[in-house]
């Protein structure tokens, strides 16, 4: 069976140019055999998903290959959708990624991966158990890591390896970049 993925890559035009990318924005692409994988439960961090949809990002190719190899047995955190939407629609690129395109990207992720969220009790437990060592925005990495632990992910895909390693050995064991797959 050939897997297919909706794929939107945003190409930044040259400065002053306001033309749309020449490729069809939502073209279906078959996954080549070299990108298929043996089964491991993957969990995607936002840092891997953003480059999938921004073709000029330095991690676009590796992130896209991982995303195209993923399926409904792979996961992302609910909070990732808001972070991804905010990042992509806030990029200083021409043409801008519109809110409508941002929603289409969110839908592609929802169609391909399975969402994980924390209950109120899990959320509060994560806050309390990390309050002595984690402050500021790093708490959001804790929530993503807790979602990965919740579904027993075997791989947490991220480009922010250092940020997640500090969360302890249970998380450090499963961290990989898409280049390590």
- In b/e form, how buried is each residue of 106-131, taking b as 16+ CB within 10 angstroms? bebbeebbeebebeeeeeeebeeebe
Which carries the bigger pLDDT value, residue 26 or residue 164?
164
pLDDT for 116-138, tens place per residue? 999 999 999 999 999 999 999 99
Under the banding of pLDDT at 50, 70 and 90, the label for residue 29 is low
Residue where the block lists tokens 């929530």 = 143
CA distances to 6, 13, 152, 156 from 143, in Å: 28, 35, 14, 13
Domains and CATH numbers, the chain: 4-180 (3.40.50.1010)
Above pLDDT 90, what percent of the chain? 77
The pLDDT value given to residue 130 = 95
Instruction: Read off the pLDDT band of 31 (50, 70, 90).
Output: low
State how far the Cα of 147 lies from the Cα of 31, in Å rounded to an integer.
27
**Number of helices and strands in the chain (H, E):** 8, 7
Query: Does the pLDDT at position 36 exceed 60?
Result: no
Question: Using one digit for the tens of pLDDT, what is the confidence trace for 139-152?
Answer: 999 999 999 999 99
């Amino acid at each position: 069976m050939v897997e297919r993925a909706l794929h939107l890559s945003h190409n930044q035009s040259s400065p002053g140019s306001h033309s749309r990318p020449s490729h069809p924005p939502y073209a279906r692409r078959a996954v080549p055999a070299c990108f298929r994988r043996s089964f491991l439960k993957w969990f995607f961090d936002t840092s891997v998903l953003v480059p999938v949809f921004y073709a000029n990002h330095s991690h676009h190719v590796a992130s896209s290959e991982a995303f195209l190899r993923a399926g409904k047995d792979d996961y992302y955190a609910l909070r990732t959708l808001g972070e991804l939407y905010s990042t992509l629609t806030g990029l200083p690129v021409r043409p801008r990624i519109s809110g409508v395109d941002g929603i289409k990207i969110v839908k592609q992720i929802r169609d391909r991966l399975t969402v994980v969220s924390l209950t109120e009790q899990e959320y509060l437990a994560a806050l309390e158990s990390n309050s002595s060592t984690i402050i500021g925005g790093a708490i959001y990495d804790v929530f993503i890591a807790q979602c990965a632990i919740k579904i027993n992910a075997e791989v947490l895909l991220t480009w922010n390896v250092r940020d997640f390693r500090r969360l302890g050995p249970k998380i450090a064991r499963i961290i990989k970049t898409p280049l390590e797959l």
